[in-house]
């Protein structure tokens, strides 16, 4: 299969234009991830809003609030595992456009929800619609970039995670304070229209096809061929080791995203007026960690060691947060933890690319991302239950510390080989 860069060179376009076009692909994917994280985490800001709680009829029940995040993640994980293979059968650009359009419609409907049950169902449907995103992005990156570029290319779309969180929390808090909880959903729906235009124009003219391997003829992959290719994937011990590790990686992420606003406000005494700016710092640090990690990963090629070390240090730094009472220093320690997580995660998709066959890249990405999010789905509701039963937010975060430290050890078997 020709890479995008090779295609553009053959078309005799200037080298600078070719390079710009090539890397703009990852920028488009990053915009999609930013929007997806807006959609995912905006609900967490509402967890501390009495007006929203009363409108949904749930009061301050942290377990039911946690289910609004966990229900989304369970559906997201199931969709990622069961639907991402479509990107190996149908053009991933088409899949991406349909998926993003569905997000916008669902966010608009959430703004009109009148009960907890309605919102819960809509969160499940949103999870289904967003599930294939990372698998589609991973498949596009694998088609368009060489092995020496994949860590940087995948990190560019992964940057949507900290950027989405860094912008999503303060923007949602501002809209909530100024216009009420319904408007937070309507603004997200409006942003979907902008994202659709970015996808349409950003991927216009980019040669993408389904189920491709480098050097393969341009023809549609049959279901039988896809089944045989998937058998190779599913019998790989390295692939499953990485999938298990990813469950710890995403449990940390979703536990942090789900309860960070409430933790800072209730456990560290941060008020809503100053929350927006302070909540962005860990995710800005995460962004820097991902950028630095991407360049180091492509330069050294030591993907497994980097991913292992990132999560291990993230767990250790998060433990320090629990020992600090001053909110400013606690946020600084939290920022170190988030930066370490970003440093490790920047190489995880490049490591996945090294382990899996190109013919089933969307399927591999879907299983990898889906199983991770199944585990991550448990984090918000389990942490909510721990806090509700103990009355201690620190015990909820201690759960994430153990997950990070133990989960990182699962990757030790791959460090020497990858």
Domains of the chain (ranges, CATH numbers):
4-210+223-414 (1.20.1250.20)
How many other C-beta atoms are found inside a 10 Å radius of the C-beta of residue 218?
9
pLDDT digits (tens, 9 = 90+) for 166-213: 788 788 888 888 888 999 999 999 999 999 999 888 887 666 655 544
The predicted structure's pLDDT at residue 217: 45
pTM: 0.64
HSE-CB at 218 with a 13 A cutoff on CA atoms is 7
Task: Please give the Cα distance from 9 to 270 (Å, whole number).
Answer: 54
Short-list 181, 57, 41, CA closest to 110 = 181
Q: For the residues of 269-315, what is the DSSP string, one character each?
A: ---HHHHHHHHHHHHHHHHHHHHHHHHHHHHH--HHHHHHHHHHHHH
Q: Decide: helix, strand or coil at residue 346.
A: coil
Tokens of 323: 């020992």
User: Distance between alpha carbon 322 and the CA centroid of its chain, in Å?
Assistant: 25
pLDDT digits (tens, 9 = 90+) for 280-305: 788 788 888 888 888 888 777 788 88
**pLDDT at residue 401 in the model:** 92
Measured CA to CA, the distance from residue 275 to residue 286 in angstroms comes to: 18
pLDDT of residue 139: 77
Computed from CA positions of residues 140, 40, 38, 184, in that sequence, does the dihedral angle turn out positive or negative?
A: positive
pLDDT on residue 215: 42
Residue-wise pLDDT for 204-226, tens only, equals 766 665 554 444 444 555 555 55
Two structure tokens written together for 27: 């920028």
For residue 34, what are the contacts with CB-CB under 8 A and spacing of at least 6? Answer: 160, 163, 164, 167
Q: What number of CA atoms fall less than 13 Å from residue 244's CA on the CB side?
A: 15
Can you give the pLDDT at residue 357? 67
> Which of 256, 267, 250, 403 lies closest to 322 in space, CA to CA?
267
Task: Report residues of the chain scoring pLDDT below 70.
Answer: 1-21, 60, 84, 87-88, 205-233, 235, 270-279, 357-363, 365
Residue 274: its pLDDT value, please?
57
Nearest partner of 73 among 257, 219, 306, 217, judged by Cα: 257
pLDDT attached to residue 71: 84
């Amino acid at each position: 299969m020709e890479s995008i860069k090779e295609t553009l060179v053959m078309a005799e376009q200037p080298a600078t234009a070719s390079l710009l076009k090539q890397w703009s692909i990852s920028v488009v994917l990053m915009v999609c991830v930013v929007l997806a994280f807006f959609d995912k985490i905006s609900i967490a800001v509402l967890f501390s809003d009495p007006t929203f709680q009363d409108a949904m009829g749930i009061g301050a029940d942290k377990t039911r609030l946690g289910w609004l995040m966990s229900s989304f993640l369970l559906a997201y994980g199931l969709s990622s595992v069961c639907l991402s293979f479509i990107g190996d059968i149908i053009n991933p650009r088409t899949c991406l456009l349909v998926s993003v359009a569905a997000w916008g419609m669902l966010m608009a409907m959430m703004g009109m929800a009148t009960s907890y049950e309605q919102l819960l169902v809509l969160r499940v449907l949103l999870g289904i619609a967003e599930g294939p995103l990372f698998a589609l992005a991973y498949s596009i990156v694998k088609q368009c970039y060489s092995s020496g570029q994949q860590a940087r290319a995948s990190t560019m779309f992964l940057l949507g995670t900290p950027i989405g969180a860094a912008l999503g929390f303060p923007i949602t808090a501002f809209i909530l304070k100024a216009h009420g909880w319904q408007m937070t959903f309507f603004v997200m729906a409006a942003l979907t229209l902008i994202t659709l235009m970015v996808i349409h124009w950003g991927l216009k003219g980019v040669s993408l096809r389904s189920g491709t391997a480098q050097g393969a003829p341009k023809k549609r992959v049959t279901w039988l061929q896809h089944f045989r290719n998937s058998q190779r994937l599913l019998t790989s011990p390295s692939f499953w080791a990485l999938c298990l590790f990813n469950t710890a990686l995403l449990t940390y992420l979703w536990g942090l995203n789900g309860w960070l606003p409430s933790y800072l406000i209730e456990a560290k005494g941060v008020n809503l007026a100053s929350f927006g700016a302070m909540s962005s710092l860990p995710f800005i640090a995460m962004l820097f960690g991902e950028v630095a990690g991407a360049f180091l990963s492509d330069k050294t090629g030591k993907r497994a060691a980097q991913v292992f070390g990132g999560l291990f240090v993230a767990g250790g730094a998060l433990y320090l947060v629990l020992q600090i009472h001053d909110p400013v220093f606690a946020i600084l320690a939290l920022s170190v933890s988030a930066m370490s997580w970003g440093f490790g995660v920047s190489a995880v998709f490049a490591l996945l690319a090294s382990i899996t066959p190109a013919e089933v890249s969307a399927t591999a990405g879907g299983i990898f991302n889906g199983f991770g999010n199944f585990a991550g789905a448990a984090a918000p509701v389990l942490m909510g239950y721990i806090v509700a039963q103990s009355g201690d937010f620190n015990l909820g975060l201690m759960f994430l510390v153990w997950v990070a430290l133990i989960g990182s050890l699962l990757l030790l078997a791959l460090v020497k080989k990858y």
